[in-house]
A and B are shown apart, each in its own frame.
Chain A
Amino acid sequence: MKPRRWKIELWVLNFIALSYLALVLVVPMANVFYQAFKDGMEGFWLTFSNEDFRSAAKLTITVAAIAVPLNTVFGLCAAWVLARHRFPGKAIVLSILDLPFSISPVVAGLMIVLLYGRNGWFGGWLEANNVRVVFAFPGIALASAFVSLPFVAREVIPVLEELGKDQEEAARTLGANSWQTFWRVIVPSIKWGLLYGVLLTNARAIGEFGAVSVVSGNIAGDTQTLPLFVETAYKEYQTQAAYSASVALALLAIVTLVAKNILASATKSGEKH
């Protein structure tokens, strides 16, 4: 039996914690949907026939379609190398892997300009070969891939470490080649972690703002991604368009989180069997 005073204190703590969450997070989140739908569905749907919106959505999806597979392949390779091998400088590689998380996205964009911009390291060569990276699609894809680079590796490394290499070695002893070992032994064991990593990569690649705004040039209908469309529309007092696009992006975040929670319970029930 807990004393009565104890119970009141519990209530107070709950109240303070949840009020904080409401002020900082829940109210602003609810506001996204309220602002988008407050003038009815018509205004909301109107945005989706806006040419600039459509082209921004198309660009954003294309960028994700490039960044996500690239980072998935990289993440699997890096996770396997880092979880299965010991080599000098491993701690440094692990730290530098986290750089895209810790660095300002603006600096990430700056890096791309300094490498591929007109006066950058490869600028002369690119110009001679008529390839535009900065203020064009390749730059946006590079920036999105950079900021979402570590997610898959970060999710898969702990799973691989916990798994140990016994099963892999057993498969090899029984005559499986590397490819068979990968698809039949490793992938089935890491699938939930891998899937979550892919989801996070996708959410970040689609939502990236800072790095993309440095390298894109923000030309409506050409190099404007959805997050850039949101900011531009807001600045031009097209509040309805800004919030309609925000709803699309917020739904993406919610789907990602719901999937995360489903994956987490799938992993837990997998552990029980």
Chain B
Amino acid sequence: MTLSAHDYGKSRSPIALLLQLIGKVSIPAVVALAIISVMLFLPTVAVFQKALTENWSDIWRIATDSVAVSAYEVTFVTALGAACINGLFGTLLAWVLVRHDFPLKRVVDALIDIPFALPTAVAGLTLSTVYSPNGWIGAFFPDAKISFSRLGVGIAMIFISLPFVVRTVQPILMDLEKDIEEAATCLGANRWQVFFRVIFPTILPAILTGVALGFSRAVGEYGSTVIIASNLPYEDLIAPVLIIQRLEQYDYTGATVIGTVLLLFSLVSLIGINFLQVWGKRYEA
């Protein structure tokens, strides 16, 4: 008995089992898993853990105090407005880039990606100058205060979320067969009918995906918005700036609770965008 137990231990010791397991799992898998755990999973858990050290009534009180609620309103409503404006003009831009020809089209097409590549601090700096009362564009609107107001925050959000709709709609429009449109025209549809009955339903999932991506990006934006805003509570203070202000006052709990609200929003929007993309592929094999 003892001998067989000894033998058993020899061939299946925990260390041998562990080595066997490591032998099966490849090095890339170990590296990927380790970095995802340390860089993504652990930090996310840390935010929730810190928020939950408070009791629920305190969390609720901090998350819904009047400055925070007005910051959410400014952030989410302005971001949604910016995303919808880009939904409209982004679709138009994608259409123009796919279907029309004009000089310097390739340059214009490349310019669309600038907000992805330009550091946001530079975007905030130049937008606040251009849209200030003495700026190139602000000078045309002397009565409207654009820079250092909520309008300016909206402009910054439009800038940073501009490429999303264009880049999601463009490939769908390229794949759209002209035959279908021509068939519709031959069957007697006028151009409005062709657009609303044939083209629009096909590109709608892509438009919504682009709007959702842009909205999610605009909600989290900090670099360009903090520079163009005056950051006054109840006026143009956005949630990410409020987090920074709380951190500067060493109010880690306050910062974490508002950070948790934004983090939950990001997680929900990731899931929502996944569903939109699945919906967009519903006609694919």
Does A associate with B in a complex? Answer: yes
Q: A219 at the A/B interface (Cβ < 8 Å)?
A: no
- Chain B residues with Cβ under 8 A from A231's Cβ? 121, 124-125, 223, 226-227
Q: A170 at the A/B interface (Cβ < 8 Å)?
A: no
Distance (Å) between the CB of B88 and the closest chain A CB? Answer: 9
Report the separation of the CA atoms of residues A113 and B127 in the bound assembly, to the nearest whole angstrom.
30
Q: B123 at the A/B interface (Cβ < 8 Å)?
A: yes
Q: Across the interface, do B259 and A81 meet the contact criterion of CB distance under 8 Å? A: no
Report the separation of the CA atoms of residues A225 and B162 in the bound assembly, to the nearest whole angstrom.
26
- Chain A residues with Cβ under 8 A from B158's Cβ? 24
Q: Across the interface, do A74 and B32 meet the contact criterion of CB distance under 8 Å? A: yes
Report the separation of the CA atoms of residues A120 and B162 in the bound assembly, to the nearest whole angstrom.
37
Q: What's the dominant secondary structure at chain A's contact region?
A: helix
Q: Across the interface, do B262 and A114 meet the contact criterion of CB distance under 8 Å? A: no
Bin the interface of chain A by size.
35 or more
Distance (Å) between the CB of B270 and the closest chain A CB? Answer: 5
Name the residue of chain B whose CB is nearest to the CB of A119.
B252
Q: Across the interface, do B96 and A14 meet the contact criterion of CB distance under 8 Å? A: yes
How many residues from B make CB contacts under 8 Å with A? Answer: 81
- Interface hits, B229-253 → A, CB 8 Å: 239-241, 243-244, 247, 252
Which of A78, A98, A104, A256 is close to B220, meaning CB atoms less than 8 Å apart? A104
Q: Across the interface, do A113 and B252 meet the contact criterion of CB distance under 8 Å? A: yes
Q: Across the interface, do A25 and B162 meet the contact criterion of CB distance under 8 Å? A: yes
- Chain A residues with Cβ under 8 A from B117's Cβ? 200, 203, 207, 252-254, 256-257
- Interface hits, B1-47 → A, CB 8 Å: 26-29, 31-32, 35-36, 39-44, 46-47
Q: Which of B116, B222, B239: most chain A Cβ within 10 A? A: B222
Q: B120 at the A/B interface (Cβ < 8 Å)?
A: yes
Report the separation of the CA atoms of residues A32 and B240 in the bound assembly, to the nearest whole angstrom.
25
Q: A243 at the A/B interface (Cβ < 8 Å)?
A: yes
Binds B, one of A45-53, A125-133, A161-169, A208-216: A208-216
**Interface flags, A198-231, vs B, CB<8A=1, else 0:** 0010010011111001100000000000111011
Distance (Å) between the CB of B102 and the closest chain A CB? Answer: 6
Q: Which of B115, B117, B221, B241: most chain A Cβ within 10 A? A: B117
Distance (Å) between the CB of A97 and the closest chain B CB? Answer: 7
Report the separation of the CA atoms of residues A121 and B50 in the bound assembly, to the nearest whole angstrom.
10
Which 5 A-B pairs have CB atoms at the shortest separation, nearest pair first? A207-B119, A104-B220, A209-B223, A111-B43, A210-B222
Q: Could you give 7 example pairs across A and B, Cβ below 8 Å? A: A24-B158, A31-B136, A74-B32, A102-B270, A107-B259, A254-B117, A256-B117
User: What residues make up the interface of B, taking CB atoms closer than 8 Å to A?
Assistant: 26-29, 31-32, 35-36, 39-44, 46-47, 50, 89, 92-93, 95-96, 100, 102, 106, 108, 110-127, 129-130, 135-137, 155, 158-159, 162, 216-217, 219-223, 226-227, 239-241, 243-244, 247, 252, 255-256, 259, 262-263, 266-267, 269-271, 273-274
